[in-house]
Chains A and B, each alone.
Chain A
């Protein structure tokens, strides 16, 4: 592939870097507890949490680095996300 003149590139290519491999802890989102407030989706530093057509949220573990911000910030009334240690 020719180089992008001026060190340029088109969008989408960061997705080739699967940051999920960095993870030490992984999140599990229990959909039945989720109040669909969207906090996790909004604050995730990776942007790897997406809203599904049924309004629930899913975490893309290809990119989740396991920082735990989503679990920490999930409102007390829900506490729908729990972090677990990766078994490697």
Chain B
């Protein structure tokens, strides 16, 4: 293992190269641009034998991925925010067509107001699309989840697309030490793409037919079953990944100093790193706080979460998104996972549109949770209210 210091987006681009997609189709949008620029350079330099399609919109980016995947190629795209919103129809469609597309999401806020900065509203808005959703805490995890996603998605027992979500700017533009595996290792782990079925004149199929009321329910049931099966696929391939690369991803959720914690913070993405540092400091002060990191949001590992949180007396969920008129999307589901346990689950909407979340904010949230104060926007500018 050799650690290299590189920008998150470049680390992702180099990793995608190792996965050998035959077709890359993407449209530039901040803060995803460095990934697609990186891939364009990699293709231009002959370091990856792929077609890079410079599409005219995100809508076409993912549509071209559908065509290429259905024709039998491993494909890649990346986007964020407005781009993901523009491709919304294609997101749902590609999942229903059961195409194993992997797409990087450099998480960013949604307009209006326009914001290029980070939160996770974009991928959360696609919660119900039938894509798998993985969230990276750091650039190493973003790298590893890309490789792992292809392995899970292309399993003929799964056949689903996946988002690899990593926070825009906070990860995409930050230089960190990462281990980029060797081509040989990734080749051994992934193997060549073997499509379950493909457009092929020798064995014609009709792909993407419409379903009448006699069949639609069953197609949705099978799709849902496949998303659920992806949990076990992640456990299996995440373990195999660990054996091969030394970093284990067999857990869909991951505890940090959680075993003996009284208060559990639940979070997704880069905020977990900040939270871990805050927890270390609070632990030094004698506060028994732990973290439950959600790595896999779809499928939602409710049983794993309930088990991991069974012993705590308070749960504080950090939501970088908001289902307006309800609560943060993560908190809603954590409450469901904890239903019947009697453990209070408090929701904190924070960090929207790139607002910094610092260690002292995490500590303040723990204090609020201890007092039973939650289900709120955290850190609002008081003078504006």
User: Direct contact between A and B in the complex (CB less than 8 angstroms)?
Assistant: yes
Give the Cβ gap from B12 to chain A, nearest Cβ, in Å.
Answer: 27
Pairwise interchain contact B207-A8, C-beta atoms closer than 8 A: yes
* Interchain CA distance A16-B328 in the complex, whole Å: 49
Could you tell me which residues of chain B, from 209 to 244, have a CB within 8 Å of some CB in chain A? 209-211, 215, 218-219, 222
Interfacial chain B residues near A9, Cβ < 8 Å? 205-206, 209
Interfacial chain B residues near A7, Cβ < 8 Å? 96-97, 207-211, 219
Interfacial chain A residues near B206, Cβ < 8 Å? 8-11
Q: Residue A8 contacts which of B209, B215, B218 (CB distance < 8 angstroms)?
A: B209
Where chain A touches its partner, the secondary structure class is loop
* Interchain CA distance A8-B96 in the complex, whole Å: 11
Could you tell me which residues of chain B, from 54 to 94, have a CB within 8 Å of some CB in chain A? 70
Q: Any chain A CB within 8 A of the CB of B10?
A: no
A8 and B205 in contact, given A3-B218, A3-B219, A3-B222 (Cβ under 8 angstroms): yes
Q: Please, how many residues of chain B have a CB less than 8 angstroms from a CB on the other chain?
A: 20
Q: Any chain B CB within 8 A of the CB of A53?
A: no
Pairwise interchain contact B209-A5, C-beta atoms closer than 8 A: no
Pairwise interchain contact A6-B97, C-beta atoms closer than 8 A: yes
Q: Any chain A CB within 8 A of the CB of B196?
A: yes
Pairwise interchain contact B210-A5, C-beta atoms closer than 8 A: no
Give the Cβ gap from B154 to chain A, nearest Cβ, in Å.
Answer: 13
The residue in chain A whose Cβ has the minimal distance to the Cβ of B95 is: A6
Q: Please, how many residues of chain A have a CB less than 8 angstroms from a CB on the other chain?
A: 9
Residues 4-26 of A, flagged 1 when their CB comes within 8 A of B and 0 if not, give 11111111000000000000000
Interfacial chain B residues near A8, Cβ < 8 Å? 197, 205-209
Give the Cβ gap from A65 to chain B, nearest Cβ, in Å.
Answer: 20
The residue in chain B whose Cβ has the minimal distance to the Cβ of A13 is: B206
Interfacial chain A residues near B159, Cβ < 8 Å? 5-6
Give the Cβ gap from A58 to chain B, nearest Cβ, in Å.
Answer: 26
* Interchain CA distance A36-B218 in the complex, whole Å: 48
Q: Any chain A CB within 8 A of the CB of B204?
A: yes
